Homo-oligomer: A and B are copies of this chain.
Amino acid sequence: MAEMVSNKQVILNNYVSGFPKEPDMSITTNTIQLKVPEDSTGILVKNLYLSCDPYMRPRMQKLDGSYVESFKPGSPIYGYGVAKVLDSGHPRFKKGDLIWGMTGWEEYALIATPQSLLSLFKIQHTDVPLSYYTGILGMPGMTAYAGFYEVCSPKLGEYVYVSAASGAVGQLVGQFAKLLGCYVVGSAGSKDKVDLLMNKFKFDEAFNYKEEEDLNAALKRYFPEGIDIYFENVGGKMLDAVLLNMRARGRIAVCGMISQYNLDKPEGVYNLTTLISKGIRMEGFLVPDYYHLYPKYLEMIIPHIKEGKIVYVEDVAEGLESAPSALIGLFSGRNVGKQVVAVARE
């Protein structure tokens, strides 16, 4: 008979509307057997780090006929995480393996559906912080890499603007753009974050968008020649202001629109005719479509991390109990850097 242990879980109580609040989730304690069921090809993992990402917000509401699935009220929510394999019925994984990929928001999780198993990556490099696999070495890293290098078609000397620039993805995009020899301006929502952009990530310029009454005027000030590349993380009014400041043949990688996720009705965007007059490409992208580039990305990024050429700032919340608050903090901008939840250290 296998060991039964208690298993804390983060449950979605009900579909959310508006800004998510802590009472929208609850922590419950269940028990779990630390073995995969007989004949299962799943794996049983101990979660170490969980990733808080803005894309999780839409999944907290009922999504009818959408391409993505809602979380199920009454069940644990799920997302990217780093975990250790405790038992495996799958030939690709064995006990002791470290993995990153989709896992439940709980202490221990059974990952058993073919699709979830396919989406898991085995961690090969352990001489970097393991939590990095929720960020720079995980989905947000690939998002920045694919979004900037593949979607933005960047060229030396181009003018690059990044919104939500101190976040999990933005901080990397800015540093990638600097590495390539672009001129990079970032915006964020507090003085601390702006300082981080300037002093830690070495953006050329940075500003606090909350202190700008007129975003169009602010962008004109930072980009008198216009913007070649906009890495879009926020949407709404910021996008509208950016559209007025794009240069001919500009590119907008549409990575996220965090300003819109908590609104009952999204804001209108009014300046799309500039796509025509300036020949602008505005492109959303599905990160998994680029996961075949992950080995190539690791080859590039691991040496940069070790040599300190690329830095990464995390905001780590301790314990599964802190997970709901960490997640909702994303939407008020409370986190400084990539928001991680440390569930266990090993």
Contact = CB atoms under 8 A, between A and B. Distances in A.
A308 to B, nearest CB: 32
Contacts of A255: 276
A11 interface: no
Contacts of A235: 272-273
B284 A275 contact: yes
Interface string A254-295: 111100110001111111111111111111111001000000
A260 B273 contact: yes
Given A268-B269, A273-B235, A276-B254, A286 B67 contact: no
Interface residues of A, number: 38
A284 B286 contact: no
Interface string A76-100: 0000000000000000000000000
The count of identical subunits is 2
Interface of A is mostly: loop
A271 B278 contact: no
A173 interface: no
Interface in A14-56: 55
A270 B260 CA distance: 10
Nearest to A273: B257
Given A268-B269, A268-B270, A270-B267, A279 B285 contact: yes
A265 to B, nearest CB: 7
A183 to B, nearest CB: 20
A67 B284 contact: no
A272 B286 contact: no
A281 B284 CA distance: 6
A269 B274 CA distance: 13
Interface of A: 55, 58, 66-68, 235, 239, 248-249, 254-257, 260-261, 265-286, 289
12 contacts: A58-B277, A239-B272, A248-B286, A255-B276, A257-B272, A269-B270, A269-B272, A275-B282, A275-B283, A278-B284, A279-B286, A281-B284
8 shortest A-B CB distances, which residue pairs? A268-B268, A275-B284, A279-B286, A281-B283, A276-B284, A254-B275, A282-B282, A266-B270
